[in-house]
Amino acid sequence: MTAQRILVLGSYPVVNPRHGGQLRLSNIVQAYRGRGFEVRQASFFPANPFYTDHPLGAADVPLPPAGLQSWKGHAAPLIEDLASGEAVAQDEARLAALERFAGPVDWIHLEQPWLLPVVQRLRERGAVGAFRLVYGSQNIETHLKQAIFAQYKVRDGQPLLDGILALEQQSAAQADLVATVTQQDRAHTLGWTQAPIVLAPNGVSAWTSTPTDRDHWRQVLGPEPFALYVASAHPPNVSGFCESFGECMAALSPVQKVVLAGSVTEHILSSAWYAHWGPLNARRIHPAGVLSDAQLSALRDLAHTFVLPMTSGGGSNLKTAEALHSGRHVVATPHAMRGFEAMADLPGVVVTQPGIPFAQAVATSLLQPQPGADAASLARRATLTWSHTLAALCDAIEAHSRKS
């Protein structure tokens, strides 16, 4: 069988992946290449510094943010992803450039539904050939956007939600293969498609740190055990943290702390929740902010407890895979364990409701020794790596290709 040629379309660059969606898309590309597929990857995204201040791929296209603030006459915050598909689909020059970059392909992998209008235009134009379609669903986007609209008190958001739902349904209906990250999402998607649905959970890449980086953080943070929360500025990450620790951080003693890493940091520190008990919270939160991979790896290796305070959002969370893979104490909400429910009985894992129970569990974990690492738990944690979680997706493409 000749190597399958795949064009992977995404909504963010993956040369320097930082947030969860970028990491998933990057690892999908790597998994495909690892199977010997010929892969071209192209992304369209708003031209904000989070993306443009870092290296971009040959077919990464930053889009002017001013043109992405509304969709079909309906304006709302954080809809650049929805607006991008229509913007690119109507741009003849960008479509032609994408066709030249891709060449003839056997498959297009559409990660999230946002660029479905681009896929449809490519099919109409025919320049890349009669391709098959993989729809990679990271979560049920309609539910996620509905939660974000509620958080931002968006009025008249229903036409936008209707449009997102239509995109999700059409992406699944037009696909030859659908990949979801959780069984819950798979069940939700079953009614939208006749195509096979593959479970391709989120995973983790192993990390290593240097003694120098670990010594740096020991000097900064001191000798006391600390908890670690790593997240992007995605709104549910901010609200989840605030909701999970209750009214404030008072359940932790003054010598206990949670280290915040990632772009979530500044948003938690600027929230009304943080300000209401500012001095108390400041004694128990250390803001590390956005870090290099090396610095973050050192923090992961030193963390006594990983906290997973998710209360909304769809799909599954890559930070859950990282926490479970660490072998350290993990305190998670039930929502954070979506897709990883089978791992809830690993040593050191506590799943509890947000609020006082969650905060108290974090405080208690910081007083306990690290959980033991037996052979069985090590073997189970090994299944969390991307090479395991994405194997079924690659298998399905190979099997489908053999039938064609």
My answer on whether 55 and 169 are in the same domain is: yes
Average pLDDT over every residue of 164-187: 96
Evaluate if residue 360 carries a pLDDT over 80. Answer: yes
Percentage of the chain modeled with pLDDT above 90: 88
Percentage of the chain modeled with pLDDT above 70: 100
Q: Residues 372, 376, 378, CA angle at the centre, nearest 5°?
A: 65
My answer on whether 368 and 399 are in the same domain is: no
* Amino acid at position 343, single letter: M
Q: pLDDT band at 316, cuts 50/70/90?
A: confident
Evaluate if residue 1 carries a pLDDT over 80. Answer: no
Tally the C-alpha atoms within 13 A of residue 27's C-alpha that lie toward its C-beta.
Answer: 25
My answer on whether 44 and 187 are in the same domain is: yes
**Direct distance between the N- and C-terminal alpha carbons of the chain, in angstroms, rounded to an integer:** 11
**Residues β-bridged to residue 167:** none
My answer on whether 136 and 22 are in the same domain is: yes
Average pLDDT over every residue of 34-57: 95
Tens of pLDDT, residue by residue over 93-152, are 999 999 999 999 999 999 999 999 999 999 999 999 999 999 999 999 999 899 889 888
Instruction: Give the pLDDT score at 377.
Output: 92
- The domain in which residue 250 lies consists of 211-382
Contacts 24+ apart (CB under 8 A), 344-353: 346/371, 346/377, 346/380, 346/381, 347/371, 347/372, 347/373, 347/374, 347/377, 349/324
Q: pLDDT band at 373, cuts 50/70/90?
A: confident
Conformation bin of residue 73: beta by default, left when phi > 0, alpha when psi is -120 to 50: left
Mean pLDDT of the chain, nearest integer: 95
My answer on whether 68 and 135 are in the same domain is: yes
* Separation in Å, CA 193 to CA 168, 176, 196, 214, 392: 10, 9, 8, 49, 19
Evaluate if residue 285 carries a pLDDT over 90. Answer: yes
* Amino acid at position 116, single letter: L
Evaluate if residue 290 carries a pLDDT over 70. Answer: yes
My answer on whether 253 and 310 are in the same domain is: yes
My answer on whether 9 and 129 are in the same domain is: yes
My answer on whether 44 and 166 are in the same domain is: yes
My answer on whether 236 and 378 are in the same domain is: yes
Instruction: Give the pLDDT score at 18.
Output: 83
Tokens of 207: 């990390």
Q: CA torsion sign, 340 to 343 to 348 to 352?
A: positive
- Looking at the structure of the chain, the number of domains it has is 2
Residue that the structure tokens 């905060």 belong to? 359
Q: pLDDT band at 404, cuts 50/70/90?
A: low
Residue 313: count of CB within 10 angstroms of its CB:
22
My answer on whether 262 and 113 are in the same domain is: no
Q: Residues 80, 86, 87, CA angle at the centre, nearest 5°?
A: 75
My answer on whether 105 and 135 are in the same domain is: yes
Average pLDDT over every residue of 295-313: 95
User: Which candidate, 255, 261, 181, places its Cα nearest to that of 223?
Assistant: 255
Instruction: Give the pLDDT score at 366.
Output: 98
Q: What are phi and psi of 9, to 5 degrees?
A: -105, 130
My answer on whether 171 and 293 are in the same domain is: no
Evaluate if residue 314 carries a pLDDT over 80. Answer: no
Instruction: Give the pLDDT score at 151.
Output: 82
Instruction: Give the pLDDT score at 228.
Output: 98
Q: pLDDT band at 8, cuts 50/70/90?
A: very high
Q: pLDDT band at 158, cuts 50/70/90?
A: very high
Residue 277: count of CB within 10 angstroms of its CB:
14
What CATH number corresponds to the domain at position 319?
3.40.50.2000
Q: pLDDT band at 320, cuts 50/70/90?
A: very high
Instruction: Give the pLDDT score at 144.
Output: 87
Tens of pLDDT, residue by residue over 199-209, are 999 999 989 99
